[in-house]
Amino acid sequence: MYETSDSHPNIHWPSGFSPGQGHGFCQAQAVVHAPPATAFALLADVTRWPEWVPGITGAQTGPLERTFEVLFHGHRFEIFLGEHIPPHRFGWSGIGAGVQLYQAWLFTAAEDGTRVVTENVVRGPAVTSCELLSPVWPQRLNILWLAQLKRLSEVAPAQDDQ
């Protein structure tokens, strides 16, 4: 288990998904040279994730409002939006492939753009019984995801902050 103090103090964790309750935890952050609304809009458009998020090959809206289905490395995940506060907070839980996870994103205005922080907690039998999710693998995935968001945000037309 991980220390809750490892997490950014402004992350809102749903019940059962704090770093201290997870089998895996990682975080990444970067400064994106674009307004918060621009980076947020790219991330919140879940159906376009397959175009730029590493490992995601499919995404579609789910049967209920604020739900999605995502194919990640060939595994189907059901995604439930937990936090959607444009342009500052985006959080979602995913269930599938023997894991449950929560990923939180914070967007904060910075002097030269937006500071973006992402953290996730993963739980489940696939995490505890498989060495596939070494501590390095999810960290690299978060860094790649954030790098792609940064790259796309910096070339996208600026969105007005709300």
**What does the pLDDT average to over 64-93?**
95
H helices then E strands: how many in the chain? 3, 7
Higher pLDDT, 100 or 125: 100
Range with the poorest average pLDDT among 18-27, 91-100, 146-155: 18-27
Domain locations in the chain? Answer: 17-45+85-155
Over residues 37-56, the pLDDT tens digits come to: 999 999 999 999 999 999 99
Beta bridge partners of 108: 115
Residue 140: pLDDT over 70: yes
| DSSP state, residue 104 | E
Residue 130: pLDDT over 60: no
Phi, psi at 66, each rounded to 5°: 65, 25
Residue 4 has what pLDDT? 55
Can you say how many angstroms the Cα of residue 120 is from the centroid of all Cα atoms in its chain?
Answer: 7
Question: Regarding the domain delimited by 17-45+85-155, which CATH topology (the fold level of the hierarchy) does it fall under?
Answer: Alpha-D-Glucose-1,6-Bisphosphate; Chain A, domain 4 (3.30.530)
- Number of Cβ within 10 Å of residue 119's Cβ equals 22
**What does the pLDDT average to over 24-32?**
90
State the pTM of this model.
Answer: 0.87
Residue 131: pLDDT over 50: no
Which residues lie closer than 8 Å to 120 by C-beta, 6 or more apart?
A: 24, 25, 26, 27, 101, 102, 103, 104, 138, 142
